[in-house]
Amino acid sequence: MGNTGQAAYSASKAGLIGLTKSLAVEYGPRGITVNAVAPGYIDTEMLRDVRDKIDLTAIPLRRLGQQEVADAVSFLVGSDYLTGQVIVLDGGLSSQI
């Protein structure tokens, strides 16, 4: 999602989505799957200094993500038919747009 002052960041994320889909098509015939994980606010050291500024009421699940990224990656590694997909892990934040 776009935010003021984050044009380059948003463009890079859109580029990664396009790259994921293109690589999935290109490498699929070789049996290689390509997917991406798009996390929202995940409770990590990176958020330590700004955690108190995050409005949890804006996230439908009312919390930060924790183990979900590892769980999604584990699922993707185990799937040999899912390809070209972007798994969004943001507690429903982007569903409101």
Let me know if residue 62 belongs to a domain.
yes
* 88 bridge partner residues: 38
Let me know if residue 72 belongs to a domain.
yes
Let me know if residue 96 belongs to a domain.
no
Let me know if residue 97 belongs to a domain.
no
Confirm whether pTM is higher than 0.95: no
Let me know if residue 66 belongs to a domain.
yes
Task: Give how many domains the chain has, as a whole number.
Answer: 1
- For the question of residue 27 being annotated catalytic, the response is no
Write the pLDDT tens digit of every residue in 2-23: 678 889 989 999 999 999 999 9
Under a CB-based contact definition with an 8 Å cutoff, are residues 37 and 72 in contact? yes
How far is residue 48 from each of residues 33, 54, 60, 73, measured CA to CA in Å?
Answer: 34, 11, 21, 23
Let me know if residue 63 belongs to a domain.
yes
In angstroms, rounded to a whole number, what is the distance separating the alpha carbons of residues 42 and 6? 19
Provide the mean pLDDT of the chain. Answer: 92
pLDDT exceeds cutoff 80 at 1: no
CATH number, position 64 = 3.40.50.720
Q: What percent of the chain has pLDDT over 90?
A: 70
Residue 1 CB burial class (10 angstroms; 0-12, 13-18, ≥19): exposed
The pLDDT value given to residue 52 = 86
Write the pLDDT tens digit of every residue in 49-73: 888 889 999 999 999 998 999 999 9
Of 9, 27, 41, 81, which one is the catalytic site residue? Answer: 9
